[in-house]
Amino acid sequence: MDEKKNLTNRKTVLITGASRGIGKSLAEIFAKEGYNLVMLCHNSLNIMWEDARKLSEEYDVNVYCYATDVSKSAEIKKLFEDLSAHEISIDILINNAGISYVGLLQDMTDNDWDEVIKTNLSGAFYTSRAVLPSMIARKEGRILNISSVWGNIGASTEVAYSASKGGLNAFTKALAKEVAPSGIVVNAIACGYIDTSMNAHLSMDEKESLYEEIPSGRPGTPDEVAGFVYQIATSSKYLTGQVIKFDGGWI
């Protein structure tokens, strides 16, 4: 927890998976636009702190950093107790933390399966459940889920990942219907191939053959995703319950 500046009239965005990749870019754009940040990661707290300090200094916003495993209900509960104790309420929740598993389904252990589903899907449940009471009381709030085109169409050797993101898409649509009468907006961005460490396992040949499949001819960048998420997060509240593809025309 950083020392609090007197910036309480600003909106606060909570970003999971903010230590690198898409989450790091999300933190940057929201800080640049004057939002206070709550940044979460799992194992990379020191690295994330360095970025957080820079953002706080450069954009004069409050930044709070936590190492919280989104796949664990108890850790999310503890996080929100701490936020509440510091009188921090969340205006925008971005469920971005995610992991992939590449391999044949028949080789997956129970633990491999649970880890993917709990991180990518249950994590969004735990955080959304925690932010909603305060959002509903204020009749204001937005939830954005970072999903994948594999959740729309499925990917061979990524069955658990596809199932988790397909679940996240259905979660988005259902929750949007449930909370729209309370003034809360819920959307998902289904990303295509984005150039982050999540794809570090691919060889250059594999990457190049993927680029050939993508009409835009290249991967998206984390900054492009973040810019688009920011637009959706600040667009009309009438846009809700949508799973919006961001994939260079791929799928």
Is the CB of residue 161 less than 8 Å from the CB of residue 155?
yes
Q: How far is the CB of 23 from ligand NDP (least distance, A)?
A: 5
Which residues of this protein are in contact with ligand NDP, per CB under 6 A? 16-23, 40-44, 69-71, 96-99, 119, 146, 148, 191, 193-194, 196-199
Distance CA 182, CA 223 (A): 31
Measured from the CB atom, the residue of 71 and 128 that comes closer to ligand NDP is 71
Is the CB of residue 147 less than 8 Å from the CB of residue 201?
no
The three-state secondary structure class of 203 is: coil
Measured from the CB atom, the residue of 23 and 167 that comes closer to ligand NDP is 23
**Catalytic residue among 161, 193, 211, 238, which?**
161
Fill in the DSSP letter of residue 219. Answer: P
Q: How far is the CB of 140 from ligand NDP (least distance, A)?
A: 25
Amino acid identity for residue 133 in this structure: P
Asked about 238 being catalytic, the answer comes back as no
Measured from the CB atom, the residue of 181 and 204 that comes closer to ligand NDP is 204
- Joined together, the tokens standing for residue 144 give 């954005």
Q: How far is the CB of 115 from ligand NDP (least distance, A)?
A: 8
Distance CA 62, CA 240 (A): 28
Catalytic residues, by residue number, are 161
